[in-house]
Chain A
């Protein structure tokens, strides 16, 4: 199932970010600057794309464009989220540098990227805005991506619901199918 930029727009709306039209998505513009020290927005986006390769089901295609369109706008519009994600990616990269031959999580192949998440216990960690690295990876990276996917119509469709919670898909969906 192809994830479109329209899905990204809808996911943004679910996260409370109203975007005027698809053409205004920031993928058409420069990614937002983040901070002087630590990873910039580009690095956060590529980390998110790598995480998406692990946590998204294989049935979805076009993940890169979806993640970039969604996350770039979200980083731009939500400074607190951007700051949390930046610090989390920075800590994750430090961990990767110590435990693998790579310097950045974003450069890992999918199998290693998944193994790192397991080693950190991200699968069973409770999401946290501040706190342990596993809790923050769960909140800023894994859950943010899962929220974007499963609150969007395409993600909903994957598991059998056309109008998932958090998505303003109209109330007709609860009626008897035509």
Chain B
């Protein structure tokens, strides 16, 4: 039987075993510290991965069911102007949301750390501070990439793994983009282009999101295992209910529940919260006490506020030729040209993208390898069979092209995570209420992304081009901003060392500390910040 009783002695208690928690635990354990990781969800057996993949392809279950998300444990509310589908956006279990993620990993641009929020907040660190940690994070995750992105921030070392070759449809896009002066380049992927770190090379199952059966896509269970090999103890199905402080305002205990209905108390010298961008502020708010009436580490009132995500913008259409989609489940080419300067004009050999003078957020563009229908998924949800089905599949598949894109959101205090006391989870705790909405700038930026995407698809000769614009957009599931970092304790929750201003032995490793969102997938930055957190915690131990 699994022992879920507290460790007698712990230097550090890490809450959450996604990439942030796993990397912190691994680094501290490697240095010889006693580390306990408390993880709310279960440990999924590796042998179940193929069965989960079948679930992902066969239409009985929704994507969240693939990793058993949902039910009372994961109850939530969404009361903002836009619905926020929280349970599509996270996984609870050893490895966290990276079990489900796509695995695109890029460094934030220098400009991302220089941005100022509308209320005047800024990042207290810059790209140079994170640069060595980015390199370590790339080695840890095993990133396949090439240094062909002229817009990316400076890097000295090559990527640990060679890049994936551009797909066939990438080459069709590249020709059209060249005629318009739109620059294309490779995507760094946390996915093995060749064997790495004891895991196999990608074999093209094409179901990376929500599950990679071969293990070629990185997920944080890799570092959980490494941490355990270094002596860390990982307790699964142990959701932390609240943190309790002593008379000096230091966290003394993490109170956690176990499946047998018992509650346990884990003490430690240092605590690191790594519960993702929604559960981290929720746990701080749940840890409210007479000493911390507004929640722990919340003297600024910023806990839960400034919630941001990246908004999706897309366009697709059909060509009069084969485009070879849905062979692999990941993207090989993207474009950062409209990131630092979203309104810029381009001039190519045979056309252009016009300039926009509007105030815009950063835009990242993607060239999809999974545009249009997947025949197997279509076969399983259609209403035909036999020759009719075959004819339908043949007619539907083969000539689609699509572009995706991410647009950053402006941090605004009204977008926030609070506790909804009218609903409780399986342990009787108030559920998170996610209040999310779009501002005018984000809407304009999505329209700008659509304009560029439509220009490219039209240049390719695509028919029936349709877009996913500001009315149809949804979140990319990158939770950010809810415990923002800053120098001013009255405006932010953690300092440049990722330590909460209010509580000396409590640090946060998460995108919840991001001050601005940028428009790049956040996890490499989360990983880099986690490694930095671990270094500071080590210094405090």
Contacts and interface: CB of A to CB of B under 8 A. Distances in A.
Interface of A: 13-18, 54-59, 114, 123-124, 126-129, 139, 142-143, 146-147, 149-151, 155-156, 158-177
A55 B389 contact: yes
Contact of B390 (A57, A129, A163): A57
A123 B390 contact: no
Contact of B369 (A55, A169, A174): A174
Interface in B228-260: none
Contact of A165 (B49, B322, B376): B376
The 10 closest A-B pairs by CB, nearest first: A16-B50, A171-B204, A55-B385, A174-B327, A57-B390, A159-B393, A174-B167, A150-B376, A173-B327, A165-B206
A138 to B, nearest CB: 9
Nearest to B164: A171
A169 to B, nearest CB: 6
A58 B390 CA distance: 9
B51 A57 contact: no
Contacts of A151: 57, 376
17 contacts: A16-B53, A16-B213, A54-B385, A59-B387, A123-B383, A126-B59, A139-B60, A146-B379, A147-B58, A150-B376, A156-B375, A158-B390, A160-B397, A164-B375, A164-B376, A167-B205, A171-B202
Contacts of B214: 168
B168 interface: yes
B375 A59 contact: no
Contacts of A168: 203-205, 213-214
B58 A163 contact: no
B326 interface: yes
- The range of chain B's interface size is 35 or more
A174 B168 contact: yes
Contacts of A173: 204, 324, 327-328
Interface of B: 49-51, 53-54, 57-60, 164-165, 167-169, 171, 202-207, 213-214, 322, 324, 326-329, 332, 369, 374-377, 379-380, 383-387, 389-390, 393-394, 397-398
B383 to A, nearest CB: 5
A174 B328 contact: yes
A127 B54 contact: no
A166 B397 contact: no
B394 A123 contact: no
Given A164-B376, A166-B205, A177-B168, A127 B58 contact: yes
Contact of B205 (A126, A147, A165): A165
A56 B386 contact: yes
A149 to B, nearest CB: 8
A175 B168 contact: yes
A71 B167 CA distance: 35
B377 A165 contact: yes
B509 to A, nearest CB: 33
A177 B172 CA distance: 13
Given A57-B389, A165-B376, A176-B168, A171 B58 contact: no
A147 B60 contact: no
A123, A129, A150, most chain B CB atoms within 10 A = A150
B380 A127 contact: yes
A162 B389 CA distance: 18
B460 to A, nearest CB: 16
A136 to B, nearest CB: 11
Contacts of B167: 174-175
A158 B395 CA distance: 11
Contacts, number: 152
A114 B387 CA distance: 13
B203 A170 contact: yes
Given A123-B385, A168-B213, 16 more contacts: A16-B53, A17-B50, A54-B385, A124-B383, A147-B380, A159-B375, A159-B397, A160-B322, A160-B375, A163-B206, A168-B205, A170-B203, A174-B167, A174-B324, A174-B327, A174-B332
A159 B386 contact: no
Contacts of A18: 50
B384 A123 contact: yes
B327 A171 contact: yes
B259 to A, nearest CB: 22
Contact of B49 (A16, A123, A155, A169): A16
A164 to B, nearest CB: 5
A58 to B, nearest CB: 6
B383 A150 contact: no
A147 B54 contact: yes
B321 to A, nearest CB: 12
A13 to B, nearest CB: 8
B146 to A, nearest CB: 16
Contacts of A174: 167-169, 204, 324, 327-328, 332, 369
Contacts of B398: 160-161
Nearest to B384: A123
Contact of A161 (B213, B375, B389): B375
A160 to B, nearest CB: 5
Contacts of A57: 386-387, 389-390
A91 to B, nearest CB: 18
Contacts of A143: 58-59, 380
Contacts of B207: 165-166
B326 A161 contact: yes
A101 B375 CA distance: 37
Contacts of A58: 386-387
Contacts of A163: 204, 206, 327-328
